[in-house]
Amino acid sequence: MAPLQDGDAVAARDSKNPAGGTLRFSAREWSEFLARIKADGFE
C-alpha cells in the first residue's frame, strides 16, 4: 500500500500496481483508520 497525500485527502493504492485504481479518504477518515489499527481495533 502506498498512501499519497492529495490536498485535504489521502489516496491509497497498491504500490505493486501503481497504474491500478486508488481509494480516496478524507484526512479525518484516514486518521481514524490508522488510530483503529494502532489500537488493535480490527479482528
What is the C-alpha separation between 42 and 22, in angstroms, rounded? 22
Residue bearing cell 480516496: 24
What total of structural domains would you count in the chain? 1
Residue 32 lies in a domain: yes
Residue 10 lies in a domain: yes
pLDDT per residue as tens digits for the range 1-43: 666 666 788 888 888 888 888 888 888 898 898 898 889 866 5
Judge contact between 29 and 37, C-beta under 8 A: no
| Residues in CB range of 35: below 8 A, 6 or more apart | 41
Of all helices (H) and strands (E), which one includes residue 24? strand 22-26
Q: What is the pTM of this model?
A: 0.62
Residue 43 lies in a domain: no
